Structure 1
Amino acid sequence: MKPVVKVRSTDQDKWLNSILDVITNLDCNDHFSNHLGQPQHAQKVIVTNFQKSLCQRLRDSMPGLRWTMEYAPSKRLKDSIDIYGESEDFVVAIELDKNRADQVAKKFVSRVALLPDEKVYFLSICYPGTKRMNLNECVKYFGYCSNLAKRMSGVYAGLVIGEI
């Protein structure tokens, strides 16, 4: 089971293509094959382990960017970005969430609003939450985020792990 790109704002960006190559080649079976039905604290551990694994893979594959986890763009606010990458010319924000459209939209708006005034690559990676969560609505909101990112001269991609 590997992440699948559902929406992307462009096919012509070398940095986005490189980031997506790393993410879409990451095997997620060890993390998400049996997390459903487990208590929230157990699921949090699984997601944190996935976050660490993905961040390390990005560090190893893209050493030209500085990668960190739980980056807080504002000292005043408690919002943090799950995985954050930084170069001289742009920043990368990667958010991991259950496949809920409201979470996708909320994270996109809040994180982009807090990031510096430079080019932003924003990626939403959604993993299965419950069978009741509407994956189609989540993908619809990926499209909205993609349109907004383009209007702000940014780049967006929405990915799904383990479609249910």
Structure 2
Amino acid sequence: MKPQLLKYSSMDPLLHQLVAAISDIDSGPYFSKHIGQHQSDQRTIVNRFQNHVCLVLDKTLPAIKWQVEYCPNRNQRDSIDIFGQGENFVIAIELDKHRADQVAKKFVSRMAILPDIRIYYVSLCYPGTARMNSTECVKYFGYCADLSKRMGNEYAGLIIQ
């Protein structure tokens, strides 16, 4: 059970490295049995996975400074699940259930609050409920990829099936 890349803006070399590192993570131990659990238990699972992804990226891309729950603006309470700071670019990785409204909302808000430098944005989605369909989510991955390209940024949308 590994994240699958479904949409992307381009295969920029750094985006390719990010996607390769994330796609290689075995998410089965985290998400094989989380559906049907209480929200608080699911949040604990997501937090463990979030920390694991950050550690993997820190080992894979050590020149980038990685952290979880980064708050780019003290006046707003929005925090980025996994944040990377490189030379002349930032990376924002958001973990969400595969719901199109969550993907779109996070993308818009993060693009607005991040600095005016090159942004690599990754939507990393996991199953939310047994009935949740990922088709609309993938459609919005495409919109995010198109908008990122127009803005001179990069985007990748991955889903853990």
TM-score norm. by structure 2 comes to: 0.98
- What is residue 15 of structure 1 aligned with on the other side? 14
Specify every segment of 5 or more residues in structure 1 that has no aligned partner in the other structure, as ranges.
none
Question: Hey, what's the Cα distance between the residues in 2 that align with 1:102 and 1:44?
Answer: 19
SS at match of 1:49: helix
Q: Please report how far the alpha carbon of residue 132 of structure 1 lies from its aligned counterpart in structure 2 after TM superposition.
A: 2.9
Q: Residues 40-71 of structure 1: CA distance to partner in whole angstroms, max 9, x if unpaired?
A: 00000000000000000000111010000000
Q: Give the distance between the partners of 2:30 and 2:94, measured in 1 at CA.
A: 16
What is the 5 A alignment of 1:144-155?
Answer: 144-155=143-154
* 5+ long unaligned stretches in structure 2: none
Indicate the residue corresponding to 2:69 in structure 1: 70
Task: Write the deviation string for residues 132-159 of structure 1: whole angstroms up to 9, x where unpaired.
Answer: 3221000000000011101110000000
Q: For the residues of structure 2 that align with 1:56 and 1:27, how far apart are their CA atoms?
A: 13
Runs of 4+ in structure 1 deviating by more than 4 angstroms, as ranges, are none
Aligned position for 1:4? 4
Q: Deviations over 1:58-115 (max 9, x none)?
A: 0011101000000001000000000000111100000000010000000000011000
CA distance in 1, matches of 2:131, 2:121: 26
Answer yes or no: is 1:44 the counterpart of 2:43: yes
RMSD of the TM alignment (CA)? 0.6
Aligned residue number for residue 26 of structure 1: 25
* % identity of equivalent residues: 53
Letter in 2 for 1:98: K
Between Structure 1 and Structure 2, how many residues are aligned?
A: 161
In 2, Cα distance between the equivalents of 1:151 and 1:102? 21
Counterpart in the other structure of 1:138: 137
TM-score, with normalisation over the residues of structure 1? Answer: 0.97
What SS class does the counterpart of residue 35 from structure 2 fall into? Answer: coil
In 2, Cα distance between the equivalents of 1:131 and 1:103?
A: 17
